[in-house]
Amino acid sequence: MSAVLEVKGLTVDIPVAAGDLHAVRGIDFSVEKGETLCIVGESGCGKSLTSLSIMGLLPKRAKIAAETMEFAGTDLLGMKEKELASIRGNRMAMIFQEPMTSLNPAYTIGNQLMEPYIRHKKASDKEARERAIYLLERVGITAAASRLSQYPHQLSGGLRQRVMIAMALMCDPELIIADEPTTALDVTIQAQILHLLAELRNEFNSALILITHDLGVVARVADKVAVMYAGKIVEAGTVEEIFRKPLHPYTQGLINCIPVPGKTARGSRLGSIPGIVPTLIGDIRGCSFRNRCAFAHDACDTADPYHSLAPGRGYRCTLDVATCEANAKELVSA
Amino acid sequence: MLVYTLKRLFIAFLVALTVSLITFSLTYVAGDPATAIAGEAATEADIEYIRELYGFDRPILIQYAEWFLNAMQGDFGQSFYFKLPVADILFERLPISMTLGVCAITFAISLSIPLGVLAAMRPNSFLDRLALGISVVGQAMPSFWFALMLIVIFAVWYPILPTTGSESWEHFILPTIVLGYYATPAIMRLTRTGMLEVLGSDYIRTARAKGLPQHVVLFKHALRNAVIPVVSLAAVQFGFMLGGSIVIESIFALHGAGYLAWESIGRNDLPVVQAVVLIFSLFYIVLTFLSDLLNAWLDPRIRVG
């Protein structure tokens, strides 16, 4: 099966006063039809910039480069703005983190929903309207037809995020990128929205890239997982591999932070990873996690080799697989 | 929207009422009006006679009611100086000021909004600097000097435009440029600031993510939100321009309402001053009301309030 999106060696540099901020430092991933890839990491690890660079929505001053960045076999980086615009919102669509501010306050829901469909599919107002009503119903909004004339401020956050999802689906995209789609929502709504996303991905048979910092979200919907730290992918694998046998100390630390009912003792301290993410300005050598890693040794100062164990499975560490597996076992049994 | 309109209308009415009260009280601000009318050589009996003739001896509330009711019907009394109905004088002068005002605000808006948008699209670019330069010059240069420079260029060196009078549309070109340029900096800077803020907002990113072309993102999604404070500002400036500028009307010998007000103050011609102040205030009130409606149309969230 050919990948909907194939990315190799993607880097994003942002010029700042002190030099270049290496926000994304050579990452590889791919996602296929009907597949969900979760990119996990804490804030500032470069996951949002990764999604914006796929969409071609990076701020102008950001410098982007990649060995490969192909969408359905065509190179995205070589595209002119016009060609890219004809793909955006049409064959690939994005759902943003902030439903409260991501809709234009001055236009009705209907106007904003119909806009990309009319533009990309050369549809009539009537067709676009029908499509909008169908999708609003599909994302679980009642009285869909009457919602079209409402303004964003008349809807709750959960409803607005559903509208955003409907908007992303208007042109039946091959790739949907959702950047923290549930972070700004109530916990009860979060589960509904995730469920909806997973369901729609199956129904529309599109590829889904879900960007999140929440491992709970990952466990629910991911097929494949890429764990990002300081602009690099430190571990990649299927959701089972990541949760059952996390190899990178950072992934292990993340999983250790999740309380497990019945396992984590009441009143005990939750796991945490000490320290903060290092600055990514200027020359960076060695493993960027070493200052927070319990297993750090001299070799980490200069090297951070990537071990590819199987297609789509690997980790970036100076420790060998056996040691990492042993660490994982200890963690899982603890 | 209807409730909002009625609310605004009611507020506008209250403001108009207050303004009329203040305007009326102008009669007594400059001292005893009967003495003023009678002139310096008048005897005590003359003054008393005039006081009775003009009704200044009646209770003040009755005087106000009479003045207000008359003004509502377009009767502002007699000019002390011209001995003519104030309304006649005013309606001869107002069209000149209003033509100038409409031309000037049109000129100002059509120059400043595109410039503001362009400047915001590429902050700190050459274009942005140029727009900043234009606005700094406009802000710093006194309009009388700018007017004189234009006269020197277009009437003395290259005599292609008339400089005095209001007979043809050509007479309005130079005054329009001077008066309009004066309003340009504020509108342009406000447009630029508004656009910069809006262009950084999440919904603009959404619009881009939808694959909309640049002009749709800019003019449909961004400008409508950015222009809301500009509308209020432009309304106030338009009010100012409708009233006419004394300086500009004097230089170009456009005998408009602003010039009339200035003359009448000098002549102690109170009924004219009163009428001019009232009419100009009403301009502001109507314009503010209209800009409120326009803003409510632009931003549905305002309609709720």
Q: How far out from the chain centre does Cα A76 lie?
A: 18
pLDDT at B125 over 80: yes
- Identity (one letter) of the amino acid at A33? K
Helices (H), A122-186: 125-138, 144-147, 157-169
In this predicted structure, which of B140-154, B197-211, B254-268 has the lowest mean pLDDT?
B254-268
Q: What is the pTM of this model?
A: 0.82
Q: Which residue ranges make up each domain of chain A?
A: 3-91+171-245
Q: What is the least distance, in Å, from the CA of A280 to any CA of chain B?
A: 24
CA dihedral (B40, B42, B43, B49) positive or negative: negative
| Beta-carbon contacts below 8 Å between A and B | 71
Q: How far out from the chain centre does Cα A176 lie?
A: 10
H-run or E-run covering A111: helix A109-121
State the residue for tokens 């006419």.
B244
Work out the average pLDDT over A81-94. 91
d(C-alpha A31, C-alpha A72), whole Å: 10
Contacts of residue A253, Cβ cutoff 8 Å, sequence gap at least 6: A271, A273, A292
Tokens coding A122: 């050369």
Q: DSSP E strands: which ranges in A175-230? A: 175-179, 207-212, 224-229
Please calculate the CA angle B178-B184-B190 and round it to the nearest 5 degrees.
165
The DSSP 8-state label assigned to residue A238 in this structure reads: E
Q: How far out from the chain centre does Cα A195 lie?
A: 16
d(C-alpha B189, C-alpha B120), whole Å: 9
* A102 → closest Cβ in B206, B211, B213: B206
pLDDT at A239 over 90: yes
Which long-range contacts does B56-65 make (Cβ < 8 Å, 24+ apart)? B56/B32, B63/B24, B63/B27, B64/B21, B64/B24
Residue A43 main-chain phi, psi, to 5 deg: -60, 140
The DSSP 8-state label assigned to residue A152 in this structure reads: G
Beta-carbon-side half-sphere exposure of residue A146 (alpha carbons within 13 Å): 4
Contact A263, A322 (CB under 8 A): no
- Residue contact A105–B225, C-beta within 8 A: yes
The CA radius of gyration of chain A, in Å to the nearest whole number, is: 21
Q: Which residue ranges make up each domain of chain B?
A: 89-269
Q: What is the least distance, in Å, from the CA of A221 to any CA of chain B?
A: 24
Residue B273 pLDDT class (50, 70, 90 cuts): confident
Q: Which residues of B touch A116 (CB under 8 A)?
A: 210-212
Contact A103, B203 (CB under 8 A): yes
Contact A84, A37 (CB under 8 A): no
A171 vs B33, more confident: A171
Q: What's the pLDDT score for residue A29? A: 93
Contacts of residue A203, Cβ cutoff 8 Å, sequence gap at least 6: none
- DSSP one-letter string for B103-157: HHHHHHHHHHHHHHHHHHHSTTSHHHHHHHHHHHHHHHS-HHHHHHHHHIIIIII
- Residue contact B212–A102, C-beta within 8 A: no
Work out the average pLDDT over A91-101. 90
d(C-alpha B279, C-alpha B264), whole Å: 15
d(C-alpha A149, C-alpha A111), whole Å: 8
Work out the average pLDDT over B197-222. 93
* B203 → closest Cβ in A88, A93, A104: A104
Work out the average pLDDT over A197-201. 88
Residue A22 main-chain phi, psi, to 5 deg: -85, 85
Contact A29, A201 (CB under 8 A): no
Q: Which residues of B touch A96 (CB under 8 A)?
A: 202, 205-206, 209
Q: What's the pLDDT score for residue A332? A: 59
Q: What is the least distance, in Å, from the CA of B240 to any CA of chain A?
A: 29
The helix-helix angle for A109-121 and A125-138 (nearest 10°) equals 120
- Residue contact A103–B206, C-beta within 8 A: yes
Tens of pLDDT, residue by residue over B229-240, are 999 999 999 988
B89-269: in CATH 1.10.3720.10: yes
* B211 → closest Cβ in A85, A103, A151: A85
Tens of pLDDT, residue by residue over A106-158, are 999 999 999 999 999 999 999 999 999 999 998 889 899 999 999 999 998 88
Question: In residues, how long is chain B?
Answer: 305
Contact A111, A91 (CB under 8 A): no
B54 vs A305, more confident: A305
Residue A81 pLDDT class (50, 70, 90 cuts): confident
- Residue contact A96–B206, C-beta within 8 A: yes
In this predicted structure, which of A5-14, A187-196, B191-200 has the lowest mean pLDDT?
A187-196
Of the candidates B187, B288, B279, B190, the residue with the CA atom closest to the CA atom of residue B236: B288
- Residue contact A102–B205, C-beta within 8 A: yes
Of the candidates B234, B267, B260, the residue with the CA atom closest to the CA atom of residue B245: B260
Beta-carbon-side half-sphere exposure of residue B161 (alpha carbons within 13 Å): 18
Is B78 in CB contact (< 8 Å) with chain A?
no
- Mean per-residue pLDDT over chain A, rounded: 89
Q: What is the least distance, in Å, from the CA of A241 to any CA of chain B?
A: 33
d(C-alpha A208, C-alpha A205), whole Å: 9
State the residue for tokens 């006269």.
B151
- Identity (one letter) of the amino acid at A109? I
**What is the separation, in whole angstroms, between the first and last Cα of chain A?**
39
Of the candidates A8, A12, A5, the residue with the CA atom closest to the CA atom of residue A48: A12
Contact B248, B151 (CB under 8 A): no
CATH superfamily of A3-91+171-245: P-loop containing nucleotide triphosphate hydrolases (3.40.50.300)
Q: Which residues of A touch B212 (CB under 8 A)?
A: 85, 89, 115-116, 119
d(C-alpha B16, C-alpha A299), whole Å: 81
- Residue contact A116–B224, C-beta within 8 A: no
Q: What's the pLDDT score for residue A214? A: 87
Question: In residues, how long is chain A?
Answer: 334
- Residue contact B212–A116, C-beta within 8 A: yes
d(C-alpha B136, C-alpha B141), whole Å: 8
Contacts of residue A7, Cβ cutoff 8 Å, sequence gap at least 6: A27, A28, A29, A30, A54, A66, A68, A69, A70
- Identity (one letter) of the amino acid at A105? P
Q: What is the least distance, in Å, from the CA of B225 to any CA of chain A?
A: 7
Q: What's the pLDDT score for residue A304? A: 87
Q: Which residues of B touch A174 (CB under 8 A)?
A: none
Contact B212, B221 (CB under 8 A): yes
- Residue contact B210–A167, C-beta within 8 A: yes
Of the candidates B219, B192, B221, B191, the residue with the CA atom closest to the CA atom of residue B204: B221
Tens of pLDDT, residue by residue over B1-49, are 888 899 999 999 999 999 988 888 877 776 777 777 777 777 888 888 8
How many other C-beta atoms lie within 10 A of the C-beta of residue A178?
A: 29
d(C-alpha A65, C-alpha A88), whole Å: 19
